[in-house]
Chains A and B, each alone.
Chain A
């Protein structure tokens, strides 16, 4: 059943050695905290505070608007300075709540905590929902939606995504090394929700120490196993991960639950544990600050809403002038043109590079080398889809399964002619998907 890998994929320079061996450090924000109302997939949250209000750390400042949505919590105590448009990682302006930090970090009382065994499934899911937990690997899909499966008994596998296949990122790794028990406790919550499921902690084999730790910790746990996956990007992509671990395939029309799987990122599982065991909402996350421009690359425990600009001095500042700064990994992250954007629930890294591959390399004619076909984890023909996309030929794009693309970027990475394959495909995909929704 388990293949432990998938077909296609690439092996870019991973740069993980820069930050992987240094312990996580807590950082405190210097500037105002900015909380975009949309840090997740689904409807933006609705503010429940007004300008001038005094808030405490852990206080809800915006509530979920509908089922597929997620509330937002203040991570510091202070005053609501404004509710206005602020720039976010995508480069757009988004409605955000701005809080001036009073530096006291007064916080609200944690929620009442009950032992896991005494909680009903409904209580658990509600708590996860209330805590504002979303997929922290990058997509930001509200976790309570993933947990609200129609038939929980039909979930066979709960997969903890510890692949961390994005180059440079080590935040999941540090979490797993430093607090492995917390991850296992978090997984127990999932196992309670899905009574017939097997918990699988899936880790790429470039983290042998993690695999060893988890194997030792779970050797007496009949419902938890550890799987070593072959190191390859995009091993952490949901579809590829499910296939590697269980041999089951899903496409764009199926959800993991349709094949009996629930997949969650390491940080998400740990946040679930915090909500259930400590009664705390999602207020911080681990961010890798790295790249060849950063003097002391390492991981930080960052309060959500903190400006990226506050992280750079903590990492020793720049040792050389960066040309490109990426929020997230180099394959799936967002480039930011200005450091003054907030860390959100889904921000995994701040990557500062002195070299911009894209501006140095001009796209040239496709020579039909077939590399893109070879690396495509969705087994598409990126070259063909990209041409159709460039011509806005929706019909051909769809009939060649353009919607099955997971936008992993392998094709663009590998292309010797440096063609913007993934970019073209992504644009038309977005258009097709938005038409479909109507």
Chain B
């Protein structure tokens, strides 16, 4: 026996899909929204995105270095987190907001709980909520070129009329990544086409949210109103990119359906009855916390459970 061949326990082949491949797809899918944000808001948006991503990546690198763990940057998840967080920042925010946010997302929300796959809430959203609470005035200032303007959702809340055409064109105030529904949907379609996400969670989210609006908004089935709610704020970005985060969603299809529907209702409650006009971030975070519970109650019925002997 001069040469020994490799051995392994079956199966001996693996699919080509990898974690880094999936993450890379998400990064690509976020580029249209990021690109549009930079186009709309200019250099500061670009700077914020760069700083936030760099902060997230560096935080993970240093954390692994200090705690003597294997480096995990190769899975690209830190880039996804940084990018998602940046897209949730107001364009006029100072650069250090990105640094603080990136650090909080990676170190506090993700790494301290055991790293990728162990975090119980979406790191980007966790960090965003942390920033909103800690630096409320910065995080809610959507002034463009010094001109302050209310976001479409704030106007809706105040009972004002919104310009639906401007919303479709992304010509509205908002965070860097949320303003263009079209750019977000292009990315989402890409993710669905390559099979990274499916329509289940976003679908359930949007449908249940619309139903909630129809019943409780007092406006009935007002298409303009519904369209404004759907394309305003972080709903689309949240539904397609954050609620679908693998780590913090239920693992079974049934669970995902329940989770999506729950997010829609929660967002509706926050937007219609809460003090703030926006509600997606908090809805998803609360949803994240309920995932273990949903998982527990939606365990699939194993194959053959109903099997009975012929002669019984």
Contact = CB atoms under 8 A, between A and B. Distances in A.
B113 to A, nearest CB: 12
A409 B9 CA distance: 10
Interface in B287-312: 299-311
> Which residue of B18, B115, B301 has the most chain A CB atoms within 10 A of its CB atom?
B18
Contacts of A409: 10-11
Contacts of A417: 18-19, 117
A268 B262 CA distance: 53
A106 interface: no
Majority DSSP secondary structure for residues of A touching B: loop
A378 B303 contact: yes
Contact of B302 (A334, A335, A367, A380): A380
Interface string B8-23: 1111111101110110
B246 interface: yes
Contacts of A356: 6, 8, 12
Given A338-B4, A369-B246, A249 B303 contact: yes
Interface string A380-409: 110100000000000000001100100101
Contact of A338 (B1, B116, B117, B249): B1
A378 B300 CA distance: 10
Interface stretch (A26-34, A42-50, A251-259): A251-259
Interface of A: 6-7, 10, 12-13, 91, 151, 154, 167, 239-240, 243, 248-252, 254, 258-260, 322-326, 330-338, 340, 353, 356-359, 361, 364-371, 373-374, 377-381, 383, 400-401, 404, 407, 409-410, 412-418, 420, 422-423, 426
A6 B303 CA distance: 10
Contacts of B306: 249
A265 to B, nearest CB: 18
Nearest to A260: B310
The 10 closest A-B pairs by CB, nearest first: A251-B304, A409-B11, A335-B7, A357-B14, A365-B117, A358-B8, A249-B307, A369-B246, A258-B309, A337-B4
Contacts of B246: 367-370
Contacts of A369: 22, 246
Interface residues of B, number: 46
A393 to B, nearest CB: 16
A258 B43 CA distance: 71
B303 A361 contact: no
A365 B117 CA distance: 6
B118 interface: yes
Contacts, number: 182
B137 interface: no
Interface string B102-145: 00000000000001111000000000000000000000000000
16 contacts: A249-B304, A259-B309, A330-B12, A330-B13, A331-B10, A338-B4, A357-B13, A357-B14, A365-B115, A368-B251, A371-B17, A378-B303, A380-B302, A381-B252, A412-B11, A414-B17
B303 A416 contact: no
B255 to A, nearest CB: 9
Contacts of B252: 370, 373, 381
Contacts of B223: none
Contacts of A373: 251-252, 300
Given A333-B12, A358-B12, A381 B310 contact: no
Given A91-B7, A259-B307, A335-B10, 4 more contacts: A335-B7, A365-B116, A365-B117, A368-B249
Given A258-B309, A258-B310, A333-B12, A416 B21 contact: yes
B16 to A, nearest CB: 9
Interface in B1-58: 1, 4-15, 17-19, 21-22
Given A259-B309, A373-B251, A379-B302, A325 B5 contact: yes
